[in-house]
Amino acid sequence: MLTLEPIGIVHSPYVSKYDAPRQPGVDDRRHEAVVELMAGRNFEQALEDMAGIERIWIVSWFHRATTWKPKVLPPRSTHKRGLFATRSPHRPNPIGLSVARIVAIDGLRITIAETDLLDGTPVLDIKPYIPYADSFPGSAAGWVDDDVRSAVFDVHVDHDVHVMAPADVLDHARRVLALDPDPHPYRRTSMLPDGRRMLAIRQWRLIYVVDGHDVHIKAIVIGDSNDEMP
């Protein structure tokens, strides 16, 4: 029998899955999170000699993932891929591996930046990031090398949408649509009967049109409150 016990928990501004960046270190927002280690387990001593270490690996448990499938649709792919060729959190054993930059250490609290971890994520282990051993920038990444794209679309938001939409919803919409506004189940974008497109974010439905490399968000409505993005 394999038994794992968390050593701590993450306190993060990313409450919902749609809030978090798809990979650590690729988000231009400057949010910080805290890894709070459990008291009474001598973790104060385990944190000794961390001075000078800039980044750490955080081994975590994807506590929101309850099922898995052998093939998944990654956000930057147009068709399904084998699970083990992706970073999907929905795995047979939902173990996460994220790198984060250390901002400060105060007692049992490690403030980190450049992370993708959700609030409440259990932490299983922490290891130092060692550049000479952990970085292989010339390594081939298979289908990712072919599919990965930088933001190529300019996103414009109509005034009425600016007034109605929560700031975090617009922030997420800009990131998603700048990458690719085409219909995609993972990104919850779809084509409407009239030719316009729709992006679903929680209970919000953003209606947009695409003109070349420009995306115009024209309207926002509230959908079914029971169909919120998790």
Q: Measure the CA–CA gap between 62 and 108, rounded to whole angstroms.
A: 22
Residue 148 has pLDDT above 60, yes or no: no
pLDDT digits (tens, 9 = 90+) for 63-83: 998 899 999 887 777 678 999
CATH of domain 154-222: 3.30.2310.20
**Residue 24 pLDDT grade (very low, low, confident, very high; cuts 50, 70, 90):** low
Closest CA to 218 of 175, 165, 152, 153: 165
pTM (predicted TM-score): 0.74
Mean pLDDT, the chain, integer: 87
| Cα dihedral 115, 118, 119, 121 in deg (nearest 10) | -100
57 pLDDT more than 90 = yes
Query: Average pLDDT in the 212-219 region?
Result: 94
Asked if pLDDT for residue 96 goes beyond 50, the answer is yes
Q: Supply the CATH classification number for the domain 8-144.
A: 2.40.30.70
Task: Express each pLDDT in 188-210 by its tens digit.
Answer: 889 999 999 999 988 899 999 99
Give the DSSP letter of residue 84.
G
Confidence of residue 224 (pLDDT cuts 50, 70, 90): low
> Which sequence spans correspond to the domains of the chain?
8-144, 154-222
